[in-house]
Structure 1
Amino acid sequence: MMTIAEVSKKFNLSQDTLRYYERVGLIPRVNRQKNGIRSYTEEDCRWVEFVKCMRSIGLPVEVLIKYVGLYQQGDETIEARKELLIEQRKQLISRMEEMENVLGRMDKKIARYELTAVKQ
């Protein structure tokens, strides 16, 4: 079991962010000790890690909330969860292709500036 401070440090997320994740349903509800302090299990930490990873690639909060909701409904939602992830994967690939195009344009622009600098 870990406290919110320990989880915050482990995943480099603020305690406010962890509370937000729980409040809006990005992670399942975290159990609390008798004194009200959150007590994160290994599974809770896996959820935090999953959400942090998915947010880092730009998955919308709403999509993750839907995914968590489906997960909490049980195994009958496995296909729906898979489809949700497949759709998000397609969108990620599209964004990566767009970024590669922009990177190529930037490289060309930088190369032009380097040629200009050499000529001067």
Structure 2
Amino acid sequence: MTLIESTPVRTDLCKAAPRAHPRPEGQDRYTISEVAAFTGLTAHTLRWYERIGLMPHVDRSHTGQRRFSNRDLDWLAFVGKLRLTGMPVADMVRYAEMVRAGEDTFDARQELLEQTRRDVLARIAELQDTLAVLDHKIEFYAGAHRAPERV
């Protein structure tokens, strides 16, 4: 009998593989309804993102209809992650403006993301504390059901 040792593979849950794009690069022109279906955002939200400057310039067809690319889908996925952090929309717009401004804004972008990371870590700590309180209460009630009746 042969024993094969295996090294445990560490997977970082925060670095999940990006979602595959529906179409290959070069054939990646999506209508607003296709993007809405793919991202779960409404067409109204996508238009609003563009209007407030959160979305970079979206290409248009010869008839004026928006045509999104895989790069736009990647940006929307990133914006979705920023939303989950609780980052205010104004800060997301400011970040988008810095991206458009170019490499000179790397330090400011990094600081904004580092501050957001600190905020997320603080929220995680709060939630872990809240979870501990809930676990304590659940254990209390579970124990109360097992206790013999008192006379």
Question: Could you say whether these structures have the same fold, taking a TM-score greater than 0.5 normalized by the shorter chain as the test?
Answer: yes
Bigger Cα Rg = 2
TM-score (norm 2): 0.75
Partner of 1:91: 119
**Partners in 1 of 2:142 and 2:90 — Cα distance?**
44
Report whether the alignment pairs 1:62 with 2:90.
yes
TM-score (norm 1): 0.93
Partner of 1:46: 74
CA shift, 1:33, in A, is 1.4
Partner of 2:128: 100
Q: Give the total of aligned pairs.
A: 120
Report whether the alignment pairs 1:23 with 2:81.
no
CA shift, 1:57, in A, is 2.7
Partner of 2:138: 110
Structure 2 regions of 5+ residues with no counterpart?
Answer: 1-28
**Partners in 2 of 1:48 and 1:95 — Cα distance?**
23
CA root-mean-square deviation: 1.2
Residues 4-36 of structure 1 deviation map (CA, whole Å, 9 limit, x = unaligned): 111111112111121121122222121211212
Partner of 1:76: 104
**Partners in 2 of 1:107 and 1:26 — Cα distance?**
40
